[in-house]
Structure 1
Amino acid sequence: MNRIYADHAASTPVHPLVAEEMLRVLTGTYGNASSVHAFGREAKRVVSSARERVAAAIGARASDLVFTSGGTESDNMALFGAAAARADRGRHLLVSQIEHHAVLHAAERLAQQGFDVEYIPVDTRGRVDMDWIREHTRPDTILISVMYANNEVGTIQPVQEIGAFAREHGVWFHTDAVQALGSLPVDCDSLNADLVSFSAHKINGPQGIGALYTAPHIKLPAMLHGGNQERKRRAGTENLAGMAGFARAAELSASALGERRAQSELLRGRLLEGLSASIGDSAFVVNGDPAHTLAHIVNISFPAVGTETMLMNLDMEGIAAASGSACTSGSLETSHVLRAMNLPENVLNSAVRFSFGLGNTSEEIDTIVKKIETITGRVRNKR
């Protein structure tokens, strides 16, 4: 059976050139970057080079970048760090309802600690309401957190507008750009963001490495204590190979941005046109905002077929898709993103996310369409 991977929003295959660079570091640079001898200095050069290369790819200064273990830690560092750094100014935060759970669970924890967290609503396409943000920002608001693009439905948020508003009112703005990196232009300065989260494994880099951009005026207290790594912002021996792999992946994704989007749009169009021709427009619903969306993510509901049934049948056919965020899809719970969008129950309970990337072909999309046609027909015949 030829397997098809259509879950690139969860994690991506490592690019061969990334693996090559990581192997070179793994086998050739084994000193501790904190050591003062030649081996340590070699390791330190790997760290410094990786930081400069990633920073260049996201429009930032190297000194503004903190390497982390991934998007979750970056999000946690942003929220907990901002809360601790600004507690003397206020204890009010605005967080969108459709954030990744790395943000939402951190916000819940802050609420338990006495912070006042309000959740920004979204419309039926998953876009936040700017007027709501303006109306609910207070003198004691210390942070607004709205992701650049949603990982479940692909909806792109007006982050530049939000960031500009936040700066006018002296509020820090955090955006989770984990899903946007590699699919949208990312320039930290033009985003008007104070804190931006990234992760390597969404852009054909290694798992277990990410970064948090902190604007020059942002000073966050350390969450991990021990050594003086990352300018005392994050203690712990550096993941040399991971950093080098992240840097190469960031360079490759930045240079191929247009090419990747064009290929994703081709695959997206082929999937939707194929479904329209095979099962009919009335048999499926596309969730999200067609005017503001990541091309490589397509969230589709098949109201006649439940999410679990569709995913299980696709998996048996060798096709990998998802019900939502990779961190929660294993539980097959109803998506908090779709629920925040106030979609009908039959749409909520039948949503499947397909996401494309390196290695996907038009032929694979045709196979997915045929298998969905077979599955939906089988379910109908059982009724």
Structure 2
Amino acid sequence: MIYFDNSATTKVHPEVMKTFVAVNEKFWANPASIHEFGHQTNELLQSAREQVAEILHTSGDKVYFTSGGTESNNLAIFGLANKYKNRGRHILVSEIEHPSVLEAAKHLMKNGFEVEWIPVDSDGVILVDAVKSLLRDDTVLVSVMHVNNETGAIQPIEELSTFIRSNNRALIHVDAVQSFGKLPVHFGALDVDAITISSHKIHGLKGSGVLALKKFIEVEPMLFGGGQESGIRSGTTPVPLAVCTAKAVRLANDNVQTNAEKMKKMTEDLIPFLTSFPTVKMISPTKRAPHIISFSVRNVKGEVLINALQQKNVIVSTSSACSSRQTKTSHVLKAMHIQDDYIKGVIRLSFSSINTQEEINQFKKIFTNVMKVIKGD
């Protein structure tokens, strides 16, 4: 099988799986228990927290382990907006955010917040000039993803944060689910206040993730109970998942440059091949993350191409795995104003460090044969 759907999820790294088994076998105590076994388990948990904090350039008490990207994004949007609502109730969110950000922002509109949407250009990149016109004195939060999950477009976070810092006290949240492990992601590289990471996008385990805050930034909790995770996320902390998340974060960060160069080489090999077909349109912009290519075949539905490739044992997806089973058109593609004869046929290829050049070569042969059968008009 050739698996090119790594933006949906990745194969678990062997070292992560090894760690998961070891922690479950040796440290199964509740980390909140006061006995020595609980204390040892808690020390392991705090060590994992400090490892993530060091990589993200923040303090350990600002790293919260969650169930994944969706929870982390919700905690960021609700937690920051409610904690700092005394500054204002105006929020800016880009049009191309993941549904876990978009829907959270829409829910806040029902609770007295005003949300405005940051437009994007034809490359799917936010218009910073639009932010300059939308930003107000009562803007409390700006949320813009680092890399778009459907197109791979890199957003100008540094330019955005520079402008906001010089003009406003608004907090900045960045969904880095698709960028961590592929681009530099930490509070030193990105002058933001909150960063979201999902473990299963970086060869970690599903059901785990991180919300990290800049030092001195706080959030309101969403879950209440025993006061775990510094009172922000009550419920017994799943120590094996937290430790494995830290392991996946460390592995991804240690190899970020090498892996990015490898994936960039593969995608740059594929782009001229794909665009050599007269009915293929490249959706991903030039300034994109190294691991994502989105393209469309004119007047061919994406599902048709996916099924044809799957019959040849090649796994790809439509523009977003989170909405691939839905029939509605992607909100990202709509925001980019993709033409009608291409918008239904967008395919996303997404790679990881375990993909090989041999797979790229095989894909070229298979895709060529598929295109002889499926011809866009």
With the shorter chain as reference, the TM-score category is: over 0.9
- 1:336 pairs with 312, 331, 336, which one? 331
Contact 2:299 2:342 in 1 (8 A): no
Residue in 2 that maps onto 1:285? 281
Task: Indicate if the aligned counterparts of 1:98 and 1:336 stay in contact, CA closer than 8 A.
Answer: yes
> 342-351 or 67-76, which moves further after superposition?
342-351
- Structure 2 CA distance for aligned equivalents of residues 160 and 22 of structure 1: 36
Contact 1:13 1:358 in 2 (8 A): no
The one-letter code sitting in structure 2 at the alignment partner of 1:13 is K
Matched with 2:182 is 183
Residues 152, 284 of structure 2: 8 Å contact kept: yes
Whether the aligned pair in 2 keeps the contact of 1:59 and 1:186 (CA below 8 Å) is no
Instruction: Tell me how far apart the structure 2 counterparts of residues 120 and 141 of structure 1 sit (CA, whole Å).
Output: 13
Alignment of 1:147-296 (within 5 A): 147-168=145-166, 169-276=168-275, 280-290=276-286, 292-296=287-291
Q: Report how far residue 101 of structure 1 moved.
A: 0.5
CA distance in 1, matches of 2:127, 2:358: 39
Q: Aligned equivalents of 1:98 and 1:30: distance in 2?
A: 41
Measure, in 2, the Cα distance between the counterparts of 1:60 and 1:332.
41
Secondary structure in structure 1 of the residue aligned to 2:355: coil
Shift of 1:132: 0.6
Flag the 1:304–1:375 CA change in 2: closer, same or farther, 3 A. farther
Q: CA deviation at 1:332?
A: 4.3
> Is the Cα–Cα contact under 8 Å of residues 58 and 215 in structure 2 kept in the other structure?
no
Residues 171-222 of structure 1, C-alpha deviation per residue, up to 9 Å, x if partnerless? 1111101111000011213311111111111111111111111122222111
Bigger CA drift: 188-197 or 24-33? 188-197
Distance 2:277 2:308 in 1: 21
Which residue of structure 2 aligns with residue 127 of structure 1?
125
227-236 vs 363-372, which moves further: 363-372
Q: Deviations over 1:310-348 (max 9, x none)?
A: 111112222111112221112243221111111111221
Q: Deviations over 1:83-127 (max 9, x none)?
A: 211222221110000000000010111112232111000001111
1:349 & 1:266 partners in 2: Cα distance?
28
Give deviations 1:212-243, integer Å, cap 9, x for gaps: 11122222111000112111111111111111
Counterpart Cα distance in 2 of 1:357 and 1:90: 41
Q: Which amino acid aligns with 1:5?
A: Y
Percentage of pairs with the same residue: 36
The 5 Å alignment of 1:2-41 reads: 3-41=1-39
The CA distance in 1 between the partners of 2:232 and 2:225, in whole Å, is 10
- Structure 1 position 283, deviation (Å): 2.4
Residue 304 of structure 1: how far off its partner (Å): 4.2
> Which position in structure 1 is the counterpart of 2:57?
59
Alpha-carbon distance in 2 for matches of 1:196, 1:184: 13
| Alignment-mate amino acid for residue 94 of structure 1 | L
Q: Is the 8 A contact 1:304 1:376 kept in 2?
A: no
Partner AA of 2:344 in structure 1: N
Residue 164 of structure 1 aligns to a residue whose secondary structure is helix
Conserved? CA contact 2:299–2:344, under 8 Å: no
Unaligned stretches of 5+ residues in structure 2: none
Return structure 1 stretches of 4+ with deviation > 4 angstroms.
Answer: none
Give the Cα separation in 1 of the matches to 2:201 and 2:344. Answer: 26
Match of 2:46 in 1: 48
Distance 1:329 1:179 in 2: 17
The match for 2:340 among 334, 338, 345 is: 345
Q: CA–CA distance in 2 between the matches of 1:315 and 1:146?
A: 33
Give the deviation of 1:303 after TM superposition: 0.9
Instruction: Tell me the residue number matched to 1:302.
Output: 297
Tell me which of 119, 124, 143 is aligned to 2:141. Answer: 143
What letter corresponds to residue 52 of structure 2 in structure 1?
Answer: V
Q: Give the aligned residue type for 2:21.
A: L
